[in-house]
Amino acid sequence: MRRIGLAVLVLLMAGGCGQQQPAGGGNVTQAPGPKTGKLRVAVVPKALSHQFWMTVKAGADAAGKEFGVEIDWQGPAKETEVYKLISIMEDMISSKVNAIVMAACDENALIGVVQKAIDAGIPVVTIDSGIKSDIGVSFVATDNIAGGKAAARELARLVGNEGEVGLIPFVPGAATSEMREQGFLDGLAEFPNMKLAQKLYSMSDVAKSMSVTEDMMTSNPNLKGIFAASEPTAVGSAQALKAAGKAGQIKLVAFDASDEEIQALKAGTIQALIVQNPYQMGYRGVKAALDHLQGKPVEKRVDTGVTVVTMENFNNPDIQKLLYPLN
């Protein structure tokens, strides 16, 4: 990872965020009135229960250590706990953190509290899942539409470009879920001999994903493949396929790369992983917040990339580094 040495940060936000003006390819807000002291950046994930978010935390912690910043990590237990995430955001605003890095579990419900933070002079960077507003400093995330398209194309390749496939997004209203769904459907449209048989939500829950996968197989006996759009969705789908004796017969393409997903890939239950870079989301999210506090140019949209991983490229050194960023 490219490391950029920074002097000790001495700018604190005091008052409003100011007006955003374009500069150097991004929007910049000038922080008023320098003060001395150690900066405190809150990092609020959508959930604490999945390996993906622990990797985000590792990236945020690395940025905090490198730049001499205190990282306050707090989030809800589950990605469906919208009001808990809003409550955590309000607590961070009340405690007067210098900046917030946040993943929105609902693209509409979080707009109000983000605006509240900005009104309190606290800039907000969104990571992984954004909001339906451009009021944040920056959005650091995967291009989820591109990731969904990549999943459709890979699944098409695996099933011979024809047949019925299923789609299992995770949470309705979550921007990442909707964008992956959109990308998958756009990609599927490139293959006239393929058909979406059914779409069922997993609610980012392993047990729920097992249940809907079982329902999907029962309702669609000619099902040839499934796209599981998140880590818990993939884990549940893989377990359901294995239990039904359909592992490898029904092709499974999954988002993310938890240890359990990687093991399923090795075992042949999952045929391809659409891999994000959560470490970079945490690291670059914190760095964007700090650059903003220093009055430096910050890109409005930072794409952290997506990679298709199969057993064919699994042992490539670059793939290994992506799959095991903490090693």
Three-state DSSP class for residue 124: strand
Does one domain contain both 297 and 256?
A: no
Residue 215 sits in the same domain as residue 261 = yes
The verdict on 158 and 215 lying in the same domain is yes
Residues 82 and 121 in one domain: yes
Taking a C-beta distance cutoff of 8 angstroms, is the pair 143, 306 a contact? yes
- Both tokens of residue 283? 């690291």
Instruction: Tell me, yes or no, whether 1 lies in a domain.
Output: no
* pLDDT at residue number 14: 34
pLDDT of 35 strictly over 60: no
pLDDT of res. 326: 80
Position 252 in a domain: yes
CB 227 within 8 A of CB 168: yes
Total residue count of the chain as it appears in this document: 327
Give the domain range for residue 195. 144-275
The pTM of the full predicted model, rounded to 2 decimals, is 0.81
Has residue 316 been placed in a domain?
A: no
Sequence-distant contacts of 217-220: CB under 8 A, at least 24 apart: 217/241, 217/244, 217/246, 217/250, 220/164, 220/166
User: Are both 77 and 226 inside the same structural domain?
Assistant: no
Query: Is residue 195 located within the same domain as residue 264?
Result: yes
Average pLDDT of span 100-120: 96
Q: What is the pLDDT of residue 17?
A: 32
The string of pLDDT tens digits covering residues 80-102 is: 999 999 999 999 999 999 999 99
Does residue 177 share a domain with residue 119?
no
The total number of structural domains in the chain stands at 2
Q: Where are the beta strands (DSSP E) in 181-327?
A: 194-199, 223-228, 251-255, 272-275, 301-303, 307-309
Does residue 3 lie in a domain region?
no
What is the tens place of the pLDDT at every residue in 179-200?
999 999 999 999 999 999 999 9
- Whether residue 176 lies inside any domain: the answer is yes
Q: Is residue 311 part of a domain?
A: no
Average pLDDT over the chain reads 89
pLDDT, tens only, 265-319: 999 999 999 999 999 999 999 999 999 999 999 999 999 999 999 999 999 999 9
Residues of 144-154 as b/e, b for ≥16 C-beta within 10 angstroms? bbbbbbbbbbb
Instruction: Look up the CATH number of the domain holding residue 292.
Output: 3.40.50.2300
